[in-house]
Amino acid sequence: MPASRQPDPRANALIASYEGAGYARVEPAILQPAEPFLDLSGEDIRRRMLILTDAASNELCLRPDLTIPVARDYLASAAAGHPGKYCYLGPVFRDHGTGSAELLQAGIESFGRADKVAADAETVALALEATARFGLATPDIRMGDVGLFAALLGSLQLAPAWQRRLIKDFNRKTTLAHDLERLALGPGTRPEYDGVLAALANSDPAAAHAFVTDLLSIAGISTVGGRSVGEIADRFLEQSALGAATLPRETRTLIERFLSVTGDPPGAAKALRALAHDAGLALDPALDAFEDRSVLLAKRGLDLSAITFATAFGRGFDYYTGMVFELHDRAGRSDGQLVAGGRYDGLLARLGDVSVPAVGFAVWIERLVAIGGER
């Protein structure tokens, strides 16, 4: 790394502290296959990726984050399927339109810990250590829980296609609002090709997939945004399943009431238990885990009143499944988050054949240096 790009000494000290806490330092390859990021990251990452094609026409990218590269290396190692704790410090690449596309990122990833609540609490504590090392002892802590939203949708017994869609939309508030409206409207107020989608929804899945794939091939479409014809067909057929369902107005109101809950964790838990009781929802397991995590955070010395929890808070990544959080500068000296992460239990199963719990976060070193001053 050129001298001008050497990390701030505090970044190296931070990684050394993570190593001291049992996290092995790793350095994944900078050049990565583009497909996992296109399929599993959020829209913001996808549109900022730096993509290139090799001699065999494979799409590659300069890694836009380090979670997926660390996960891929873990899956390819002898440790796959067993608990593993990793930390890193290195460049990531995102095109923001202005300035350098190369950014320095530190972070940790923890795979395979069965004690999820304790792992979550440890993750938040280590994230706070990052801001403290740069002179920010009391950052603005924003937190949410994708698992609570998933538990709500499961209790409402929505069609599986709509559960998947709304979970995916959770991080895109305008899209989520649009889809809730679309669900509530029902057939007849949807696109003019709704009849075609309805016919596909009621047909044999394999035959429908073959039909759509043939149409795309006839049209000369081979890939779009890194997705194959088969993947495009899968997404089109999912639209047909979405179009076959209607959301009762009272159910939409209940979802919106859930998404309006905000406050510190104890206050939010109380409001959510009242909502679950009033609506007869089976949210106890998810709420128990939420409250247990809050207890462990308090035991680590974190003032729970300093946390702003919101049921509608998401992070813009498709793979999160549980707790999500961001640390910001209360004085507003940075345009983005300083540290951010959460739980993503489903990611490794989607990347490979191993299904293990996972949680982690990324630290934006340049942002912390900018507000913490040079040293």
- As given in the structure block, the two tokens for residue 171 are 């991080």
In angstroms, the CA 236 to CA 147 distance is: 27
Q: What is the mean pLDDT of residues 268-278?
A: 97
In angstroms, the CA 306 to CA 369 distance is: 23
In angstroms, the CA 128 to CA 159 distance is: 39
| 278 burial via Cβ count (<10 Å: 0-12, 13-18, 19+) | exposed
Question: Which residues touch 29 (CB under 8 Å, ≥6 apart)?
Answer: 63, 69
Average pLDDT over the chain, rounded to an integer: 84
In angstroms, the CA 46 to CA 325 distance is: 21
| Phi/psi-derived region of residue 97, left when phi > 0, alpha when psi is between -120 and 50, beta in every other case | left
In the chain, which ranges are continuous DSSP H helix? Answer: 9-20, 35-40, 43-48, 67-75, 116-133, 146-156, 160-169, 173-185, 194-201, 205-218, 229-243, 249-259, 265-279, 284-299, 347-351, 365-372
Q: Write out the residue limits of the CATH 3.30.930.10 domain(s) in the chain.
A: 1-139+336-375
Name the strand (E) or helix (H) holding 227.
strand 227-228
In angstroms, the CA 201 to CA 313 distance is: 32
Q: What is the mean pLDDT of residues 117-128?
A: 98
Predicted local confidence at residue 310, as pLDDT? 94
Q: pLDDT by residue (tens digit) across 217-258?
A: 666 665 545 455 555 656 555 555 555 556 778 888 899 999
Q: pLDDT by residue (tens digit) across 77-116?
A: 999 999 999 999 999 999 877 778 899 999 999 999 999 9
Which amino acid type is present at position 302?
L
- As given in the structure block, the two tokens for residue 93 are 């690449």
Question: Which residues touch 206 (CB under 8 Å, ≥6 apart)?
Answer: none
Q: How is the chain split among helix, strand and coil, in percent rounded to 5?
A: 50, 20, 35
C-alpha pair distances (Å), 293 with each of 197, 287, 341, 357, 361: 43, 10, 16, 16, 17
The hierarchical CATH code for the domain 1-139+336-375 is 3.30.930.10
Q: What is the mean pLDDT of residues 56-85?
A: 95
Tell me the CB-side half-sphere exposure of residue 72, using CA atoms within 13 A. Answer: 18
